[in-house]
Structure 1
Amino acid sequence: MPEQISFSQIEGVSAGNAQNDEAKTGVTVFVFPEGAVAACDVSGGGPASREVPVVDVEKNDININAIVLGGGSAFGLAASDGVMKCLEENSMGYDTHFAKVPIVVQSDIYDLSYGSAKIRPDSAMGYEACKNALEKNSPVSGNIGGGCGATAGKICGMKRAQKSGIGYAAFKLGELKVGAAVVVNSFGDVYSNSKKICGLMNENRTEYCDFLEQLYKTVSEKYAGTFKNTNTTIGAVFTNGNFSKSDLKKIAVMTRAAYAKCIIPCGTMGDGDTIYAASCGTKVPSDVNTAGILATAAMEAAIADAVRSSRISDEEYLSNIK
């Protein structure tokens, strides 16, 4: 049976955070000191992303140096400028002979309806998060970094949704290690072991409501306003398995099953759901199917961690919504 391990036991990747606690937005950076082969699966209809074509299986095999998960919607993509600056100062990047160009991919959640919509992750915040990642601090779950402004269950608006955040989990089977990190900012509700743990509440916020029942009702009454592009669950899986870009694409696609199992609904046109997959560290020989199964299990656990580590009082939550 797989052994659950800490995310920090995944070699070849380190995580760092930076955020504006008053504005409730931030960024999380995953740095690969030795580079990483990577691929990506985008299943949602409204992603905010940067440089994702670099990890397309049809493009050149160029190792990436960092994955950025942030807030601020498309505005927050500016954080990668600071990440690139920090990596360049540390001599990390693709060597073009004239300069080393850091290869940084990024995906953002829409968190402008929580905290301040005027303050978003920028170059300075990206630089700080990257610097923290290079110091190899242990990853932190909850209302930190890219998870600062994450919420879930928003079909009836922010007043009936709940706070979510960023979560981590990892497993080991033999020499193979697979870890997952995820920022849960979903249109749908979040489940763990078939039990709802975050999402749509009643008007008095005393108990959960049935999301799908409300969805069908809302669609029949006012279809046009149901699927707004203000949600996204963004995550990544990391493995020491020796995989090609096409292998990693398959692992990312398999990991999507965790989204489908734990977030109902997911992958809608109102979500920008995205999963990166990266091979880093010792690169042990492994099987794609085994890694995909472990990645799915790790993502399920990370989704639950993102919710449970982000609990705040209703008073605090309501004071920060728009």
Structure 2
Amino acid sequence: MHLANLRIGHATHLEHHTGCTVFLCPPETTAGVDIRGMAPGSRETALLDPLKSVFHIHAVVFTGGSAFGLATADGVMRYLSERDIGHYTPVRRVPIVPTAVVFDLFSNGGQHPPTAETGYSACLSAEKSNGQPPAQGRVGAGAGVSVGKWAGFANIMPGGFGMASMVVDGVEVFSAAVVNAVGDVLNEDGTVLAGARDEEGWLVRKDPLRRFPERPTAALTNTTLVVVATTAQLSKVEANRLAQRAHDGLAIAIRPVHTMHDGDTVFALSTGNIAGVPFDVVASAAVHTTAEAIRNAVSSSINEQ
């Protein structure tokens, strides 16, 4: 697994089925974001607009706990600040830590979301990883997530955290996903890998056009989060464009996707300085690794059962 110079760590609250995942970035990481879901929860995403004046970030956080989980970024900022990492100001360095959430409150009753200490612990895990890939499945921000909620919670299957990578023209392209989709996750051939089912099998076979929440509890509780990182040198504009292109990977692997009930968000990071690789080559690889990361997330969780 090629992590494109990222260090990744989880903090998982097993008893509460929640947690967070931190991606520590190398110096001078350029980032972009594309938010297509209609119910996102995030922090510091506005700074990733190419028109904004901050050009580098220091970490990305994925967290459970819905909006309560945004507190994890405080712990990540503390970890980075203790190491004098952050955007320069005349007073002190300010770590730039874009953060996005998934709604997993049903899994823990909503009373035990991740905290700043959870974020700090995930940073320590990333530090100790020595650049090795973390676990996949029901860990970190993927600990309490699920897929196939379009038919209600009685028919869901586990989501999770997954990764995939490839090397193209000497450039690493890496994707990580936390999959908490209202839709089903599909195999490469379009069959269902994980999603809504009952004792007779996949519900989509019965009614393929009615994949949307009919019960109020299934609405506004879903999101797929993705980080795409590459060692290709990208401008801030190109990083934002890469985030846009990577959403194609969501559309390939999840159906339906980008609904009124999802907060689908993709961050794209340029973590290296390899020049000369055509952007479309990198983007095509990102689409592939994103779809594979989504499939690996649910496959890993299913294998844990």
TM-score, normalization: structure 1? 0.89
Matches within 5 A, 1:75-90: 75-90=68-83
How far apart, CA to CA, are the structure 1 residues paired with 2:217 and 2:224?
18
Which residue of structure 2 lines up, in the alignment, with residue 169 of structure 1?
A: 164
Give identity over the alignment, percent.
Answer: 33
How far apart, CA to CA, are the structure 2 residues paired with 1:71 and 1:57?
28
Which residue of structure 2 lines up, in the alignment, with residue 209 of structure 1?
A: 203
Matches within 5 A, 1:150-299: 150-193=145-188, 194-202=190-198, 204=199, 206-210=200-204, 213=207, 216=210, 225=216, 228-299=219-290
Deviations 1:213-246 (A, max 9, x none): 2763978xx6x84871100000110000111111
Q: Give aligned pairs, total.
A: 302
Shift in CA distance, 218/274, structure 1 to aligned 2, threshold 3 Å = closer
TM-score, normalization: structure 2? 0.94
Shift in CA distance, 177/22, structure 1 to aligned 2, threshold 3 Å = same
Shift in CA distance, 217/132, structure 1 to aligned 2, threshold 3 Å = closer
How far apart, CA to CA, are the structure 2 residues paired with 1:273 and 1:177?
24
How far apart, CA to CA, are the structure 2 residues paired with 1:75 and 1:282?
36
Shift of 1:312: 6.0
In structure 2, the residue corresponding to 1:104 is in which secondary structure? coil
Shift in CA distance, 139/246, structure 1 to aligned 2, threshold 3 Å = same
Which residue of structure 2 lines up, in the alignment, with residue 310 of structure 1?
A: 301
Shift of 1:41: 0.5
How far apart, CA to CA, are the structure 1 residues paired with 2:248 and 2:49?
20
Structure 1 residue 149 and structure 2 residue 140: aligned?
no
Structure 1 stretches of 4+ moved >4 Å: none
Deviations 1:56-111 (A, max 9, x none): 12211420000101111111000000000000111110111210100000001111
How far apart, CA to CA, are the structure 1 residues paired with 2:271 and 2:212?
45
Deviations 1:256-313 (A, max 9, x none): 1111111000101100000000001344332211111000010011011001101167
How far apart, CA to CA, are the structure 2 residues paired with 1:181 and 1:262?
14
Matches within 5 A, 1:32-71: 32-71=25-64
Which residue of structure 2 lines up, in the alignment, with residue 320 of structure 1?
A: none
How far apart, CA to CA, are the structure 2 residues paired with 1:116 and 1:227?
15
Shift of 1:176: 1.2
8 Å Cα contact 1:33/1:92 also seen in 2: no
Which residue of structure 1 lines up, in the alignment, with residue 292 of structure 2?
A: 301
What amino acid sits opposite 1:266 in the alignment?
A: V
Shift of 1:255: 0.9
How far apart, CA to CA, are the structure 1 residues paired with 2:71 and 2:167?
35
Which residue of structure 1 lines up, in the alignment, with residue 115 of structure 2?
A: 122
How far apart, CA to CA, are the structure 1 residues paired with 2:90 and 2:270?
25
Shift in CA distance, 7/217, structure 1 to aligned 2, threshold 3 Å = closer
8 Å Cα contact 1:7/1:139 also seen in 2: no
Shift in CA distance, 47/208, structure 1 to aligned 2, threshold 3 Å = same
Shift of 1:249: 1.2
In structure 2, the residue corresponding to 1:22 is in which secondary structure? helix
Matches within 5 A, 1:128-143: 128-135=121-128, 136=130, 137-143=132-138
8 Å Cα contact 1:240/1:284 also seen in 2: no
Shift in CA distance, 201/245, structure 1 to aligned 2, threshold 3 Å = same
Q: Kindly report the root-mean-square deviation, in angstroms, between the aligned alpha carbons of the 2 structures.
A: 2.0
